[in-house]
Amino acid sequence: MSRLRRVTASALLVLPLGLFAAGRPRLVHRPAAEEVVNYRGGAPRDGVYRGAGPRTQPALLWQRTLGGSTYAGSVHHGGTLYAGDSQGRLRAIDAATGAVKWTSVAEAIASPPSVTADAVYATSALSFIYALDKTSGQTLWSIPTRSPMFAAPLVTGGVLYAGSEAGDLFAIDVATHTEKWRYRGPREIHTQPALAADTVVFGSGPVLIALDAATGIERWRFDSGTLAGGISIANGTVYAVVDPGHLFAFDLYSGNVLWHVPPAAGVNGWTTLAVFNGLVYGGNNLRRLVALDAFTGETRWTFDAADVPSDPIVADGVLYFGTWSPASSGTAERRVYALDTATGAQLWSAVVTGDVQAGPAVGEGIVFFTTTGGKVYAFQ
C-alpha cells in the first residue's frame, strides 16, 4: 500500500553524518516556551501546551459570538486569544473578559495563526503570508505566494514555514521578510508543517516529506496513498494518519516505519494525534478517544465520547477535546471534555453550541473552544 523513498547522500551530495545515527533517542518532553505559540503547541506540533487549564469542573468564564461558522482553531498568547471568523478575519480577544481588542484588515485567513512576542503571523486563501501588529492587527508586511494557503503556518527560530495549494513549502526569514528557500512538493499542502531536530515534516497530497529545515533539501519521503490530518513529532518519532484509518509512526531521522496500526472494524478516520509522556492520543469516527503506547502502538485505554472527537491537546497532564457530528446542522449542542492523560478517567465535561472541529487552546488556567455555531467559549 505504501512506499518509503529515502533520499541518499549521493542524491543530495552532502548530508550531516549524524543525521542517521543508530538508535532513536528517548527524549524527555519539554513544552514549548511562551515566546512563540503555534497551533497545537510548539514547533513539533505534538499537541502539548505550556501552562494549565481547568482540572475540575469549570465555570463558563465567557462566550463570544463571532458570526457564521468557525472551523479553524485558536491560539492563546500573553493574555490574548487569536481566533478567526467565518469571513476569514482574525480577532484578538481578551482572554480574561472576551472583549474583542481588534479585527484584522487582512482577509481570507482560513487557519490559526502563529504568535510571537513581536507579531501575529497568518496565511491566507488570497495567496498571502501576513505579519500583523499584535496591538492593532494592522498588516506589518505581506508576501505574495501566488497560490491559496489553507494550512496553519509554523514559526520557530526566526523562520516561518507555510505550504500552499500549488505544493510549495516556503521558508521565510521573519526579521527580513525574505524567502530563505522554497520546496516544490508533488501536490497541494493541507497539513501544518511540524519541526524537530532541524527537520521540517509536512504532507504534500498523499506524500509525507521531511526536509532539512535550514536548506530545504529533502531527507526522506513516504508515499502513503492518502495522508490525512496533521503531523505530530515527539521523541524522535513522526506520527501521522493515513486514510482510511491507519496510524503510522516513523523514525524522524531515517523515515523508517517504526509501527503501523491498521484500522479496527468500522474505523475509517482519526483526528490529528497528540503525544505526551509516552502515550499517543487520537479520536476516531466511532466516537472513541484512544491512548496508544508511543513506542509500540498498543492500546492503553479508550474513552467513549458523546460524539466524534476533535483534535485533542494536552496541558499539565489533562487531555482536552471537543466533539462534532457528521450529521450536525452546526447549531446542535455538543460536549467538550477533560480527561486524565494517564488513565483516561473523565475529569469534567461541558456543553457548547455547535460542532467543535478544531483543537482547543489553553492559557492562564483557561481552556478555549471554537465552534461551527460561530462561538468561542472560555472555561475556567
pLDDT tops 90 at residue 7? no
How many angstroms separate the Cα of 372 from the Cα of each of 75, 291, 324?
Answer: 17, 27, 9
pLDDT score of 72: 82
Residue 285 in grid coordinates: 469516527
Helix (H) or strand (E) holding 10: helix 9-12
Residue 92 in grid coordinates: 484578538
Domain tally for the chain? Answer: 1
Which one is predicted more confidently, 11 or 143? 143
In a domain, 12, yes or no: no
Q: How large is the average pLDDT for residues 169-182? A: 97
The CATH number given to whatever domain includes residue 336 is: 2.130.10.10
Q: What is the pTM of this model?
A: 0.90
pLDDT score of 228: 83
What is the three-class DSSP state of 122?
strand
Q: What pLDDT digit, counting tens, does each position of 315-349 carry? A: 999 999 999 998 866 678 999 999 999 999 999 99
In a domain, 270, yes or no: yes
In a domain, 6, yes or no: no
Number of CB atoms found within 10 A of residue 328's CB: 18
With a CB cutoff of 8 Å and minimum separation 6, the contacts of 148 are 124, 125, 126, 127, 164, 165
In a domain, 30, yes or no: no
Number of CB atoms found within 10 A of residue 297's CB: 16
Would you say 2 and 222 are in contact if contact means Cβ atoms under 8 Å apart? yes
Residue linked to cell 508515499: 223
Q: What pLDDT digit, counting tens, does each position of 18-63 carry? A: 322 334 333 334 344 458 999 999 999 999 998 899 999 999 999 9
Domain residue limits at 337: 36-379
pLDDT tops 60 at residue 17? no
In a domain, 29, yes or no: no
Spatial separation of the C-alpha atoms in residues 114 and 153, rounded to whole Å: 6
Start-to-end CA span in the chain (Å): 46
pLDDT score of 226: 82
Would you say 173 and 180 are in contact if contact means Cβ atoms under 8 Å apart? yes
* CA-derived radius of gyration, the chain: 19
Q: How large is the average pLDDT for residues 296-310? A: 97
CA 138 to chain centre: 25
Buried b (16+ CB within 10 A) or exposed e, 63-88: ebebeebbbbbbbbbeebbbbbbeeb
Q: What pLDDT digit, counting tens, does each position of 193-224 carry? A: 999 999 999 999 999 999 999 999 999 999 98
pLDDT score of 172: 98
